[in-house]
Amino acid sequence: MSSLPVDFLKLDSQVCFKLYAASRAVIRAYKPMLDQLGLTYPQYLAMLVLWEWQETAPEQPTVKALGERLALDSGTLTPLLKRLEQLELVQRQRSSRDEREVHLSLSPAGKALREQVGPLKARLLCDSGVDLDRLHDLRNGLDHLLEQIKALS
């Protein structure tokens, strides 16, 4: 085994720290937009999936399927979805076949909210000055990293 570089354990050498710091910075940048929408970042992610499902619905649009898509457990999702339901953006309904299954759908207000997001997101990207090609490359690189990490477990 080759020897490790001297800076191997320095904070700035850690990819995990860079991902963590970048994630926090992105969420902070999104905050003004999300405040206008009345959403938290995790709620926004859930809404993104539900808007996707409007176009291409999974066979079972359930809490479980949403959790798998967002890599979140039901203990995290349940209060988030309850809040979205209180905001009248999402509707939850127990399956008549299996009451353990909770099906999700967007309310009319939840569907309408999508129209507000586009212009706000475009403004956020324009204001940030981020090069969209570099952002696309970064996202692809992160997809690859996630696949490799998932393969380890």
Contact between 105 and 51 (Cβ < 8 Å): no
Tell me the C-alpha to C-alpha distance, in Å, between residue 19 and each of 25, 46, 48, 133. Answer: 10, 21, 21, 19
Q: What is the mean pLDDT of the segment spanning 17-44?
A: 94
Q: In whole numbers, what is the pLDDT of the chain averaged over residues?
A: 91
- Which residues are 103's β-sheet partners? 62, 93
Given a cut of 70, whether residue 1 has pLDDT beyond it is no
Q: What is the mean pLDDT of the segment spanning 7-15?
A: 91
**pLDDT of res. 85:** 97
Q: Which structural domains are found in the chain, ordered by start?
A: 39-114 (1.10.10.10)
Q: Is the pTM of this model over 0.85?
A: yes
**pLDDT of res. 130:** 84
For the stretch 52-102, pLDDT in tens is 999 988 888 999 999 999 999 989 999 999 999 999 999 999 888 887 888
**Confidence band, pLDDT 50/70/90 cuts, at residue 125:** confident
**106 CB-contact burial (10 Å; exposed 0-12 / middle 13-18 / buried 19+):** buried
